[in-house]
Chain A
């Protein structure tokens, strides 16, 4: 199902004479795709201050900022812990080297523990530092409002149809290079649109 859909999209250019058929099929398939779309992406609500706040005219996720701050602190703490335990271990080994009881002493438990906790904290932090993907759509979606779209995943889907879903939702055109090439844009229609709009507005 995904396969046929993406293949059709891929070969859009080859199919141009069968555009009617293609469009009809695409619409049918898109209707099914929409069901999966709503599962993947959730929109943050404007009412909750903690989720998103206006900041210099931009809506920014506050929790996101707090989290990244926390992660930096955790990184610093874990690295300091490892460095400190490394220094302690260095001191210990320098002391032991000069005695005759080298084999009687092993590294003290507290240094070992500090070192291991430092490593565990570091690993934990590096996994916490993954943030859920967020998109700020280019075009207003429902209700004519720009909203921060938060996905429920850390990595990007590799399957073409799912990747296209995200592009469609945020109004991004991966082939924009081609679509908006001046030679390919229907200039006459655009001009007509503008002149119509001007005519409408000048009446008022």
Chain B
């Protein structure tokens, strides 16, 4: 680029258009749609696996291990079958979008369902 977005004091110019220029090659509607599909399926699975873990009366480390096995297993299934092995076509930042962004949310959902069914059954 020949144009410098810097004013005469050397400070960067406030770019009003930055939100669109950063993602100029992405269709934001589709990005949000894909994220929503992923969160929906992971929400269902984490709540259900929490309930099952509670029913089986798994405690402490066994329960958390159960969650991580199911969580990462589901991510792999998702990448292989729903994204058809090309997650970068549907998610801009694959690792962050699929693994880290919703990890805490799903873990807390899992813990809630786990605690609930553990207390009800035991």
Listed in ascending order, the chain A residues whose CB lies under 8 Å from chain B are: 2-3, 6-7, 10, 82, 85-86, 89-90, 93, 107, 112, 115-116, 118-119, 122-123, 126-127, 129-130, 153-164
Contacts and interface: CB of A to CB of B under 8 A. Distances in A.
Given A119-B48, A119-B49, A158-B34, A2 B25 contact: yes
B39 interface: no
A89 B9 CA distance: 72
Given A90-B121, A123-B70, A127-B77, 5 more contacts: A85-B55, A86-B121, A153-B84, A156-B30, A158-B92
A6 B52 CA distance: 48
A55 B89 CA distance: 35
Given A6-B25, A10-B24, A154 B56 contact: no
B25 A3 contact: yes
Contacts of B57: 89, 93, 107
Main secondary structure of the interface of B (DSSP, over half): helix
Interface centre among A3, A86, A129 (most CB of B within 10 A): A86
A153 B33 CA distance: 13
Interface residues of B, number: 36
A159 B83 contact: no
A82 B48 contact: yes
B74 interface: yes
Interface centre among A82, A112, A156, A162 (most CB of B within 10 A): A156
B89 A159 contact: yes
Contacts of A157: 27, 30, 89-90
Contacts of A89: 55-57, 121
Contacts of A2: 25
Interface string B40-79: 0100110011011001110000000000001000100110
B34 A155 contact: yes
Contacts of B74: 123
10 contacts: A2-B25, A89-B57, A93-B121, A107-B57, A115-B52, A153-B84, A155-B33, A157-B89, A158-B89, A158-B91
Given A10-B24, A82-B51, A158-B31, A112 B82 contact: no
Interface string B82-97: 1110000111100000
Interface centre among B24, B31, B52 (most CB of A within 10 A): B52
A153 B69 CA distance: 26
B26 A158 contact: yes
Interface string B110-122: 0000000100111
Contacts of A10: 24
B37 interface: yes
Nearest to A10: B24
Contacts of B92: 158
Nearest to A11: B24
B97 to A, nearest CB: 10
B74 to A, nearest CB: 7
A122 B83 CA distance: 20
Contact of A127 (B26, B34, B78, B117): B78
